[in-house]
Structure 1
């Protein structure tokens, strides 16, 4: 502690204010000039998390609005079903779009709570449009926690306004896939530095895989695919030869696959290609799950790090999980949300030396099921 009458050095105050909630930073600016200078320092705002509580107070007090210029990475959380929280989020995005987003490098939007019924989120998406129109230095945009239908217009705006983009995640929880493959191709042409991409399956095409495999592009690190809506179930197959070419071009590529109940058994067969370097596989299918687990065991043994299975318990599923454990030594996490027999747990503990956590329950327990950490 400092002696009475003495101030902490500004650099120490800056470190403290970096960890304060937004409203506490605002309060700090009104204590004295020294605190005001430290609380408005660009370092304090470099990585900023804002939660729009909608409690009647302004999210960003007027005297701190200029600090938006200093934000490099923004994580913005709000409740779309609460009008006040939603309005705060839109106001903040609008303020960013009004000439204060030149330094913005990363933007991540997260919705909590329930999505309003029959709501398309047009007002929120319009604010995202406006922000992307002026954020020419934006490198990372994550919209996978927005429950609204994302469309071609948004992707084309991102392509036009954010040429420096390195990562874009559009694989959100929506029942309608409205981003066409043509828009994704234009995005890849406009953003040559893209190295991480999250999409719904219907948005990806063979031409996009070929564009990603083209010479001159930076190493593609992550491709996340969500298969959850009717458009994904009807999507044409992506040839294994195209995946093989992409894998040769980017040997470090990791693919995340999330397969939801909308996919039929035939669709699952089209999605699970042998040459896809699947690192994370989430299975929540209405039909057969045993087949996809066995397929993963036989074709993704060298790449699979994460497995999540939501299915009914059966001896066939237990056997498939034991086979996967024996074939996939690189596995770090396995989470199965049905009761399994003891031999399944023993198989993963014996054959997966890098296992960090697992959810493998031998008896039925009240939900939510908590994972077990491996020490």
Structure 2
């Protein structure tokens, strides 16, 4: 520990300041010259989390505005239904777009909280995103999954033409309208040859895109996240099995995440759950038959399934299906069922899934939100409550 009157080295101060929220960094920068130097150095700002709800006051103070060109990885949280929070996020993104080329933003993740905004409330944020994409040719990762606004072709094409080094892009957000066309996705794949992770609404994916991903000169593709929620997804044509088989052959490590929402009719669900898709994560929140989907996954995704999430009404048939799945999907890492299950279901996952690391399998009703149970050690069977034995 430093003696009274002795100044800590700049690198030690920077290590401390990097864990401070934005307003505390601003306060530290006003203490003295040494602290200002440490609080505004590159090491403090390389990885930055900013909440526009908690840190509005000092969001763009002069000393902090100058630090934006040191930000490489940014997670920005705001509440879009609150005009002040949304305005702060827009101003920050606009300011960031003015300096991302020196040395360059690498990763941007937007997270929205609170109530859903009005239909046209996100135009200002989306315009700021266009500015970010125009300015940053060094952007590697862009995550818009938690952005509730409708994304369109213009944003995707802007990203494709201005961010050739892109590695991951998530567009599978919670919108009620799917407005990103398959042609824009195909253009994105052509313009960004290093893209290896992609999140989309199902309607944005096409047979041609799968063929492009399976091209011999394509770099390894590792994750395809597909959300099926809006009417366009329900009407999307079935992608040929042979296209999926070729894609799996070209990229043996490919994992597919499927998220199915209540808007999907039953006939669309069984059309989307194709045996040849290497589904690693399956999230079911259906208004219709969930039991059939769980059994289908047990029969066809046993070798690939690692995460299962089910939101459905409790029933003996669902319990039977979950036990059947547990016995077949021995590589499962997570199992989350948001309804009460019988004790034999919990026992089945403990008995057959040695790699299980967390689960939500409640035997009695509890206040929400339900928290998952964490398994103490990988490869170790967690203790089973006495009342869970059959």
Please indicate the TM-score interval, normalised by the length of the shorter structure. Answer: over 0.9
Q: Unaligned 5+ residue runs, structure 2?
A: 377-390
Equivalent position of 2:386 in the other structure:
none
Paired with 2:24 and 2:162, the residues of 1 have a C-alpha distance of 34
What aligned pairs does 1:284-363 form with structure 2 within 5 A after superposition?
A: 284-363=285-364
Equivalent position of 1:172 in the other structure:
173
What aligned pairs does 1:42-81 form with structure 2 within 5 A after superposition?
A: 42-53=42-53, 57-81=57-81
**Residue-by-residue CA offset, 1:323-355 (whole Å, 9 max, x unaligned):** 100001110111111111111111000000011
Q: Secondary structure at the match of 1:275?
A: coil
Equivalent position of 1:271 in the other structure:
272
Please give the TM-score of this superposition, normalised by the length of structure 1. Answer: 0.98
Structure 1 residue 182, shift from structure 2 partner: 0.4
Equivalent position of 2:120 in the other structure:
119
Please give the TM-score of this superposition, normalised by the length of structure 2. Answer: 0.94
Equivalent position of 2:25 in the other structure:
25
Paired with 2:194 and 2:121, the residues of 1 have a C-alpha distance of 31
Paired with 2:149 and 2:275, the residues of 1 have a C-alpha distance of 33
Equivalent position of 1:246 in the other structure:
247
Query: Which 10-residue stretch deviates more, 264-273 or 175-184?
Result: 264-273
**Residue-by-residue CA offset, 1:277-334 (whole Å, 9 max, x unaligned):** 1111000111111111011101111111110001111111111111100001110111
Q: Secondary structure at the match of 1:26?
A: helix
Structure 1 residue 200, shift from structure 2 partner: 0.3
1:5 aligns with 2:9: no
Structure 1 residue 34, shift from structure 2 partner: 1.2
Query: Which 10-residue stretch deviates more, 318-327 or 262-271?
Result: 262-271
Equivalent position of 2:40 in the other structure:
40
Structure 1 residue 263, shift from structure 2 partner: 1.1
Equivalent position of 2:221 in the other structure:
220
Q: Secondary structure at the match of 2:371?
A: coil
Paired with 2:100 and 2:168, the residues of 1 have a C-alpha distance of 21
Paired with 2:371 and 2:53, the residues of 1 have a C-alpha distance of 28
Equivalent position of 1:15 in the other structure:
15
**Residue-by-residue CA offset, 1:111-170 (whole Å, 9 max, x unaligned):** 111122333511110110011100110000000000000000100000111111000000
Paired with 1:245 and 1:292, the residues of 2 have a C-alpha distance of 24
Paired with 2:177 and 2:300, the residues of 1 have a C-alpha distance of 30
Structure 1 residue 60, shift from structure 2 partner: 2.2
Equivalent position of 2:387 in the other structure:
none
Q: Secondary structure at the match of 2:125?
A: helix
Q: Is the 8 A contact 2:22 2:58 kept in 1?
A: no
Paired with 1:180 and 1:365, the residues of 2 have a C-alpha distance of 43
Q: Is the 8 A contact 1:255 1:276 kept in 2?
A: yes
Paired residues, number: 375
**CA 1:335–1:233 in 2, change beyond 3 Å: closer, same or farther?**
same
Structural RMSD (CA): 1.2
Q: Unaligned 5+ residue runs, structure 1?
A: none
Structure 1 residue 53, shift from structure 2 partner: 2.2
Structure 1 residue 101, shift from structure 2 partner: 4.4
Q: Secondary structure at the match of 2:303?
A: coil
1:259 aligns with 2:266: no
**CA 1:310–1:189 in 2, change beyond 3 Å: closer, same or farther?**
same
Paired with 1:292 and 1:276, the residues of 2 have a C-alpha distance of 14
Paired with 1:122 and 1:356, the residues of 2 have a C-alpha distance of 41
